Amino acid sequence: MDNIDLEVLKTASQWLAAGLRCELITVLKTWGSSPRPEGSMLAICEDGRVVGSVSGGCIEDDMIARARAEGLSRSQPGIVTYGMTADEAHRFGLPCGGTIELAIEPLSTASGIGELLRRLEAGELVARRLDLQTGTVTLCAALPSQSMQVSSNTLVTLHGPRWRLLVIGAGQLSRFVAQIAQSMDYAVTVCEPREEYRDSWQVLGVRLATGMPDDVVQAMKLDARCAVIALTHDPKLDDLALMEALRSEAFYVGAIGSRLNNQRRRERLMEHFDMTDTQLAKLHGPIGLYIGSKTPPEIAISILAELTAVKNAVQLPHSANVAEAKNQLGLPLTGEVCTMPG
Q: Is 300 found in the same domain as 254?
A: yes
pLDDT at residue 304, as a whole number? 97
Per-residue pLDDT of 181-200, as tens digits, reads 998 889 899 999 999 998 88
Q: Is 173 found in the same domain as 95?
A: no
Whether 333 maps to a domain, the answer reads no
Cβ–Cβ under 8 Å, residues 103 and 121: no
Q: Is 171 found in the same domain as 130?
A: no
What's the mean pLDDT when you consider all of the chain?
Answer: 88
Q: What is the CATH number of the domain that holds 207?
A: 3.40.50.720
- Which of 76, 196, 81 lies closest to 134 in space, CA to CA? 76
125 CB neighbour count, 10 Å cutoff? 17
Q: CA 299 → CA 135, 145, 176, 304, distances in Å? A: 45, 30, 9, 9
Per-residue pLDDT of 198-248, as tens digits, reads 888 989 889 999 999 999 999 999 999 899 999 998 999 999 899 999 999
Which of 130, 159, 188 terminates a domain? The answer is: 159
Q: Where are the beta strands (DSSP E) in the chain?
A: 22-31, 41-45, 50-52, 78-82, 99-106, 126-131, 137-141, 149-150, 154-159, 163-168, 186-191, 207-209, 226-230, 252-255, 283-284
Distance separating alpha carbons of residues 39 and 127, to the nearest angstrom:
12
pLDDT at residue 181, as a whole number? 95
Whether 199 maps to a domain, the answer reads yes
- Which of 57, 38, 24 lies closest to 100 in space, CA to CA? 38
Whether 335 maps to a domain, the answer reads no
Is residue 340's pLDDT more than 70? no
Q: Is 40 found in the same domain as 18?
A: yes
Q: Is 191 found in the same domain as 116?
A: no
pLDDT greater at residue 187 or residue 307: 307
* Proportion of the chain above pLDDT 90, given as a percent: 61
pLDDT at residue 165, as a whole number? 97
Averaged pLDDT, 72-87: 82
198: helix, strand or coil? helix
Q: Is 97 found in the same domain as 189?
A: no
Is residue 334's pLDDT more than 60? no
Distance separating alpha carbons of residues 243 and 96, to the nearest angstrom:
51
CA 10 from chain centre, in angstroms, equals 17
334 CB neighbour count, 10 Å cutoff? 7
Q: List all residues 6 or more positions away from 155 whose beta carbon is below 8 Å from its beta carbon.
A: 26, 28, 77, 103, 129, 130, 132, 148, 149
Distance separating alpha carbons of residues 47 and 19, to the nearest angstrom:
12
Distance separating alpha carbons of residues 202 and 191, to the nearest angstrom:
13
User: What is the pTM (predicted TM-score) of this model?
Assistant: 0.73
Give residue 13's domain range.
4-159
Whether 191 maps to a domain, the answer reads yes
Q: For residue 71, what pLDDT band results from cuts at 50, 70 and 90?
A: confident
Q: Is 142 found in the same domain as 215?
A: no
Q: Is 299 found in the same domain as 177?
A: yes
Whether 339 maps to a domain, the answer reads no
Which of 112, 138, 159 terminates a domain? The answer is: 159
pLDDT greater at residue 326 or residue 206: 206
Q: Is 173 found in the same domain as 135?
A: no
Is residue 90's pLDDT more than 90? no
DSSP conformational letter for 205: T
Whether 209 maps to a domain, the answer reads yes
Q: Which of the residue ranges 101-110, 117-126, 173-182 would you say has the lowest mean pLDDT?
A: 117-126
Is residue 83's pLDDT more than 90? no
Whether 334 maps to a domain, the answer reads no
Averaged pLDDT, 241-263: 93
Q: Is 312 found in the same domain as 186?
A: yes
pLDDT greater at residue 339 or residue 90: 90
* Number of domains forming the structure of the chain: 2
3-state SS of 256-296 is CCCHHHHHHHHHHHHHHHCCCHHHHCCEECCCCECCCCCCH
